[in-house]
Amino acid sequence: MKRFFSFLIAVLGVSIVTLAQSSSHQYVTVVAEPDHADWTYRTGETAHFTAYAIKENVRMRDTEITYSYGPDKLDAVFTKTVKTDRNGVAHFEVPGAKEPGFTSVRVKVNLDGHTYSSMTNIAFDPFDIRPTTTMPTDFEQFWSEAMKKASQLPMMPSLRYSEKESNDRVDVYYLRLQSYKRGNYVYGVLTVPKTAGRKPAILRLPGAAVRSFNGPNELAYEGFVVLEIGVHGIPVDQDNEIYRQLENGALAGYTTIGIDNRDTYYYKRSILGCVRAVDYLCTRDDVDTTRIATYGGSQGGMLSIMTAALSPKVSALFAYFPAFCELTGYYHGRGGGWPHLFRDSKEPNLQARMEVSRYYDTVNFARLLRVPGFYAWGFNDPACCPTSTFSAYNVITAPKQLQVGRDTGHWLYPWQVENAMSWLKEQFHMEK
């Protein structure tokens, strides 16, 4: 598993160790401690907080702490300052929410011209949160027809062996598949264990960015054939400067490109490309087609759910803090998921764009899931807020398991991922 945890840090795009330690290594650490250890309350129940600030491992006495609270991802509705007592603590209350959801409680201390702060998102009956988005009556028909049309194109797979990245345990290839429309391609990196026989496979899906991929993918050392793809229809092995130029140029703001029409929206090609990647895995003699999983976080978590919902060839999924959940949340006065669309009620063509979003909201794909899934996120995620991710999780009727790291933001603890891998291996009857 050592290789796997090294891979974990890379795929999340951040250092979990650094993030986990950064708050404890601030000069002043400000804490808002709820009276429920699980940070969870019944709707309408008052939450009682103990606040304190720690400097050099000692609680600060006679110190002003400003606290505020408001709905998840929205502006604070109340702000007040309290002073710590001789024990270095202060107390305040947060009124219970009127309906299921999350309340963000923020505390801060100003010292020597610097501000130190933290956030604690408390839940009110989170498993009763219901989404604001609804499923179009022709949702399944729309995607079924799109997949059928895409499947009529030949894949024309092209594999290029990478001697540099291969080793005595795995072979690495760079892959190109035709997808969606003639001349449109999916690019990725395929890592294949050198063990004999058919093996379970993972489609590894990327978080939001325009960047390169390379091999070997560390999940292959766990016994999986791993295909990691990009979603922009561009090669994944180019110079980083090319991706930087695309991200700041042609692909800047790609999450809204073509959003005025469900057939031109940017993610239609991306989602169909993910389905095509699963189809490709099923053509390989070294893949056990009864054991294929999708895997990803944030944008990758969204695509993991979407692909598993659309492709009958997927048999399990792991999605952590999935994006694109509850896109219409802001319009209805509550937090929405990344990329936080429709926050501006004066946005051009707003109603038409929200209608298009119903065909791309992760919540509506989650409603269709029929395969077991493992999910993980935290209460303090500022990108894919818990109001949005619980909105998706709560509509899933397939077998599901959720592990929450309450104080995590847009990252996971290693134990969450370790448990997910153990779960996946159990699903696929592999040795742990």
Catalytic residues: 298, 381, 410
- What burial letters (b/e) apply to 30-54, b meaning 16+ CB within 10 Å? bbbebeeeebbbeeebebebebbbb
CA distance 78 to 93: 11
CA distance 392 to 265: 21
User: What letter represents residue 67's amino acid?
Assistant: Y
Torsion angle (degrees, nearest 10) of CA 137, 142, 144, 147: -160
Assign 3-state DSSP to the chain and report helix, strand, coil percentages, each to 5: 30, 30, 45
The HSE-up count of residue 299 (CA atoms within 13 Å, CB side) is: 20
Mutual orientation of helices 299-310 and 266-281 as an angle, nearest 10°?
Answer: 60
Closest C-alpha to 316, from 295, 343, 286: 295
Tokens of 126: 């989170």
Q: For the chain, what is the radius of gyration of the CA atoms? A: 23
Altogether, the residues listed in the chain come to a count of: 432
- The H-or-E segment that residue 308 falls in is helix 299-310
